[in-house]
Structure 1
Amino acid sequence: MSRILILGATGNLGQLAADALASDPQVTLRVASSRRSGYDRLKARFPHAEVVIADWYDRESLVKAMQGVNRVFVATPDFYTDEHLVTPNIISAAQSVGDIEQIVRLIAIPDGLTADRLSPEFLATRCGANLHVIAKPLLVASGLPVTFLNVPAWIMFNLPWFLAPEVKKHRQLAMPAVTDASRMWVSEGDISEVAARLLRGSAEDHIGREYVLTAAQRYNYQQIAGILTEELGEQVTFVDEEGPLREMMGDKFDTLMTYFRHETQAYGEVTHHETVVDLLGRPQVTVQDYIRHHRHLFI
């Protein structure tokens, strides 16, 4: 029997990982939020799970959340996480509890990327991989039983999040051209299923390992617009326009643009790994699959 804690269970990937584990009779599930509003949402979504409050910045709340579990999944949110504080708190809490058999940590780091290769300006964005280049070496040095789930690619939920409003209104893929790149895309469903597989399996098989999720193909904005055109049956055109992104991100827009200046360059050499096939025994979701399945979000 696995007793699993999901830290950050109100986040996209934490919630989906909890979904993947909730119906497993061999799993006792505990889900955590740092806020009362999140606690209430988790209570409604996971009526058979234990729901707790655990604040990344409050070590004692993390200790309480970890007591009685043997597996922990960690997926920290962009922009708001100071890994210089959060990861030491998680490490200290796990060491204090002493019964943790496995920590599965989500990261998004191209091979060889380390903090000393990043500018202070980029590190200050607390976005994407810059969170993880701080967290990973701390976890490695901690001596804790850690498994890394590394996704050095874009997650497909960004397709409807960034693109759907303008596609619906104007049949335009509207993004600043300076943010364009040939990117790998991995579905959130594949990520959460792999996370669940790592958490419910034999911990000994995965400790000290890093599982990399990538994609066999890359797409730029023009190619994504072509797939949208094919799946919607109407012409979708890529336009160089920052207005929709600026409106969506608000005061985080400039921070995100700083992140893009690094991200558009840093992931070009990432190679594909057949992790989904190896662990789940099925092909992974493609961009075309995803847009077809979520067509309703774009029309």
Structure 2
Amino acid sequence: MTANRVLIFGAAGHLGLPVARWINYRSPQTLLRLATRSDTSKRSLAQQFPKAELISANYLDASSMAEALADVTAVFVVTPDFLDEERAMTNLVNGARQSKNLRTIVRIVGNLPNVTPANLTPELRDFGGGTATQHLLARQILDASGLPVTYLNMSAYLMDDLLRWGGPIREQAALLMPYERRVAWADPAEVGEAAARIILSEDSRYAGQYFNVESGQDIFTFKQVAEILSDVLHYPIAYDDSITRWLETVGPRYKQLFGPKGADYYLEFYRFEQLHELAVCTSSSLGMLLKRTPATLRSWIRANAASLSPVAASSTKS
């Protein structure tokens, strides 16, 4: 019998790492092939998973993908923003077809419920990539492949996004987010665990399923999120939807991460989310996959309060 070998892309990330941890915990005999292109991440993964195979894999290189996919039984796929999904998923499909023992692919996507390419604004289409378009394209390619793909659609913000936005929260006691709107929330560790549970289940009925994964409980505007932060941190956190302040404070970071047009793209994407905020809804899918009630945003903030508390709050308490 062929040993189970699971390939995890983005293995050091906030979704891939929980997948690896859960599989290693529940099925230590399963072989892990962990993909990351960062030497620093490889060293960290080697310490956490000494028996794992560590590789560098390039979505855009066909030979690299074929090598990464060789002899695997399952694959976890998460892709970075602005990736050329047509090329990447074509390489994935071609490589996966050569892996004779492959039984499942779990793919992370991020689409608002019921939003189709026809709903996209001309401005988003003109960018030629990005969150609003790339996941729709990826699904088209994977669906057409006939491969056993399960989709986990994060129709939500990840709770640890608050850590990435944490600079203004800690330094200015302010949550900055243009285009006030309703959004759902999910704990990335629980999304990763759900993916791992699907992989370990070996239940072929997951193939072709599309699950909206969020807490099933929380839909908040960003003003409401600021109020929750205030209550948990015991310090008033203001909500500011000023585009100017966001561009001045957060814009440089977005340009660093996503290129010169990164900030402009996300402003347009946030506006798009506002236009379609009525599509935001909760489901029971994540709870069903986890076999328990998922974490709430309030409980997650409480558990991570030390990383979010404003500097001024510390000086006040002292």
In 2, Cα distance between the equivalents of 1:113 and 1:96? 33
CA RMSD, 1 decimal: 1.9
Instruction: Indicate the residue corresponding to 2:138 in structure 1.
Output: 135
Instruction: Indicate the residue corresponding to 1:258 in structure 2.
Output: 268
Unaligned runs of 5+ in 2: 310-318
State, as a whole percentage, how many aligned pairs show the same letter.
28
2:107 to 86, 89, 105: 105
The Cα offsets for residues 211-266 of structure 1, whole Å up to 9 and x where unpaired, read as 22133231112111111111111111112331222132133211211222222223
Instruction: Indicate the residue corresponding to 1:249 in structure 2.
Output: 254
In 2, Cα distance between the equivalents of 1:265 and 1:98? 45
Secondary structure, counterpart of 2:18 in structure 1: helix
**1:161 maps to amino acid:** R
2:177 pairs with 1:167: no
Map 1:3-14; keep pairs closer than 5 Å: 3-14=5-16
**1:154 maps to amino acid:** Y
Instruction: Indicate the residue corresponding to 2:73 in structure 1.
Output: 70
Q: CA deviation at 1:291?
A: 0.5
Q: In 2, are the aligned partners of 1:66 and 1:94 still within 8 Å (CA)?
A: yes
Instruction: Indicate the residue corresponding to 1:270 in structure 2.
Output: 280
Q: CA deviation at 1:139?
A: 0.6
Q: CA deviation at 1:36?
A: 4.5
Q: CA deviation at 1:149?
A: 1.0
Residues 1:36 and 1:110: Cα distance change in structure 2 (over 3 Å): same
Map 1:120-159; keep pairs closer than 5 Å: 121-123=123-125, 124=127, 126-159=129-162
Q: In 2, are the aligned partners of 1:147 and 1:209 still within 8 Å (CA)?
A: yes
The Cα offsets for residues 117-153 of structure 1, whole Å up to 9 and x where unpaired, read as 3245314363324211000011111011111111111
**1:244 maps to amino acid:** T
Q: CA deviation at 1:92?
A: 0.8
Q: In 1, are the aligned partners of 2:70 and 2:98 still within 8 Å (CA)?
A: no
Instruction: Indicate the residue corresponding to 2:60 in structure 1.
Output: 57
Q: In 1, are the aligned partners of 2:86 and 2:141 still within 8 Å (CA)?
A: no
Map 1:7-46; keep pairs closer than 5 Å: 7-23=9-25, 24-46=27-49
User: Quick check: 36-45 or 100-109, which moved more?
Assistant: 36-45
2:51 pairs with 1:48: yes
- Normalised to the residue count of structure 1, the TM-score between the two structures is 0.91
In 2, Cα distance between the equivalents of 1:40 and 1:160? 23
In 2, Cα distance between the equivalents of 1:2 and 1:267? 41
